Amino acid sequence: MTESLVRALVEMQEDEALRRAKELLDQGSDPMTVLEACSSAMEEVGERFEKGEYFLPHLMMAGEMLRQISEMIKPMVRESRSGVGRGRVLIGTVKGDIHDIGKNIVVFLLEANGFEVRDIGIDQPAEKFVEAIREFRPRVVGMSGLLTLAFDSMKKTVQTIEEAGLRNEVRIMIGGGQITEKVREYTGADAWGPDAIAGLKLVRQWTERTA
């Protein structure tokens, strides 16, 4: 069902990709399945980039197609899952990294489920996370990063939160394409999530337990 969407994304056929995504959604496909298909297409785009077959403009085009598909999905997720103020989550992409499509998906899924989210954006240094924790007082802090260099930024951010005396006040989750349990251990975060739904589950678990 989703193969033609994946193909169109990988082959950079923007109109066809958007048309196919809309068709799938109109036919009642689960928005999360459509997003998963997009992610697997991005894997292949990334691989072509690594092999030197694709270049930066291809990554940019891929990002743009994905952004537009996320925009299509947003209202559907909002419609299907509603909730009331359940807790605060602070989220941002760590220093040195400007990827934000995945983070934005995490944000809209959390908001759709009734969490109050403050998104501090991309390329955010550790100090900005600390500043925002002091101001916003979230239960959960989420850090996103797709580059391998983001691992060090995440580690530094966890350390800085600890040095600021705020580590016991928040649970920290990390996520982004290359994150694994090993990376989580390295950074000192409490948990990691492979996708937005995993992020939502963590936030639910943490806010219910301490509520």
Contacting residues toward ligand B12, per CB under 6 A: 39, 42-43, 45-46, 49-50, 56, 59-60, 62-63, 66, 96-103, 105-106, 142, 144, 146-148, 173-178, 193, 195-196, 198-199
Question: How many of the other CB atoms lie within 10 Å of CB of 175?
Answer: 25
Q: How far apart are CA 82 and CA 86, in angstroms?
A: 11
Based on CB atoms, which residue is closest to ligand B12, 148 or 205?
Answer: 148
Minimum distance, C-beta of residue 167 to ligand B12, in the bound complex (Å): 17
Tokens 């589950």 -> residue? 201
Q: In a 10 Å sphere around its CB, with 0-12 CB exposed, 13-18 middle and 19+ buried, how is residue 109 labelled?
A: buried
Comparing CB distances to ligand B12, the nearer of 62 and 126 is 62
Q: How many C-beta atoms surround the C-beta of residue 28 within 10 A?
A: 6
- Tell me which residue has its CB nearest to ligand B12: 102
Q: Minimal distance in Å, beta carbon 17 to ligand B12?
A: 13
Q: What share of the chain is helix, strand, coil (3-state, %, to 5)?
A: 60, 10, 25
Q: Whole-number minimum distance, CB 134 to ligand B12, in Å?
A: 20
Shortest distance (Å) from residue 8 CB to ligand B12:
15
